[in-house]
Amino acid sequence: MEAKDSWVVIMLLIFAAAWLYFRLKHQQGNMSIYRQVPRHDEIVLGSEEALALVQDAGYEWIAGKVKIPVTVILDNVATESRLFADGFVEKGNAWYVVKFARDRKPIDLTGSALREHLLVYSLLYPDAAGVLYVDVTAGMIRTVQFEVDL
């Protein structure tokens, strides 16, 4: 093999390694955006009652409210939107997405209503053990889990 051939092989190997590195880094970045639980040193919630209710049930707060940007494309026209997770908590070796009950938008505790309002959080955070639906007014915490059979 001539020196010219060796140089070409080395360049191809460097190019392939760089391409693989950036491809995996890009893919990992896209996958981890919504799957990693944000961790905050200070948890800021709308009410101390909400913080205490969840802590008194044995959960440890690991993050407060998180904005999740969403782009909706309808007929090739993009519209920006967002979802909000009210927080993230841990109990034992499991972590949960937290959604608070809202007086202006109550959720019936039926399968279809829970699916319409909370399934998206299980899909965004598939490693979560479930979604905690917290009603501070009623002093109630409900664990919601989804199983999807395809």
For every residue of 71-103, DSSP letters joined together read: EEEETTEEEEEEEEE-EEEEETTEEEEEEE--S
- Does residue 78 sit in the same domain as residue 137? yes
Q: How far is 127 from 94, CA to CA, in rounded Å? A: 9
- Does residue 76 sit in the same domain as residue 30? no
Q: How far is 109 from 91, CA to CA, in rounded Å? A: 23
Half-sphere exposure of 29 (CA within 13 A, CB side): 6
- Does residue 102 sit in the same domain as residue 131? yes
Domain that holds residue 24: 1-35
Count up the domains in the chain and report the number.
Answer: 2
- Does residue 2 sit in the same domain as residue 46? no
CATH of the domain at 89: 3.40.1350
- Does residue 89 sit in the same domain as residue 30? no
User: pLDDT digit string (tens) for 84-126?
Assistant: 899 999 999 999 999 999 888 878 888 998 999 999 999 999 9
- Does residue 126 sit in the same domain as residue 136? yes
- Does residue 41 sit in the same domain as residue 81? yes
Tokens matching residue 142: 């409900």
- Does residue 43 sit in the same domain as residue 30? no
Q: How many other CB atoms are found less than 10 A from the CB of residue 133? A: 22
Q: What is the pLDDT of residue 31?
A: 44
Q: From the CA atom positions of the chain, what is the Rg in Å? A: 22
- Does residue 56 sit in the same domain as residue 130? yes
User: pLDDT digit string (tens) for 40-66?
Assistant: 555 666 678 888 899 999 999 988 888
- Report the candidate in 110, 89, 90 with the shortest Cα–Cα distance to residue 99: 89
Tokens matching residue 88: 């993230």
C-alpha torsion 108→110→116→117, nearest 10: 50
What's the pTM value of the predicted model, to 2 decimals?
Answer: 0.70
